[in-house]
Amino acid sequence: MTDKDAEQKAQERAGKPFPVSWDQFHRDCRALTWRLNELGPFHAVVAITRGGLVPAAIVARELGVRVIDTVCIASYDHDKQGDLNVLKGISESTAKLGGGTGKGLLIVDDLVDTGKTGRMVRQMLPDAHFATVYAKPKGRPLVDTFITEVSQDTWIYFPWDTALSFQPPIRDGAA
Residues 156 and 20 sit within 8 Å (Cβ to Cβ): yes
Cis peptide, bond prior to residue 41, ω within 30 of zero:
yes
What are the E-state strand segments in 7-93?
16-19, 44-49, 68-76, 81-88
Rounded Cα gap, residues 15 and 38, in angstroms: 35
Residues 104 and 98 sit within 8 Å (Cβ to Cβ): yes
CA geometry: angle 15, 20, 23, nearest 5 deg: 175
Q: Which of 3, 5, 77, 110 is catalytic?
A: 110
**Residue 161 designated active-site:** no
**Residue 144 designated active-site:** no
Phi first, then psi, for residue 166 (nearest 5°) are: -65, 140
Give 99's contacts (C-beta < 8 A, 6+ positions apart). Answer: 127
Q: Which of 83, 113, 127, 161 is catalytic?
A: 113
**Residue 110 designated active-site:** yes
Rounded Cα gap, residues 7 and 104, in angstroms: 43
Which residues are catalytically annotated?
A: 109-110, 113
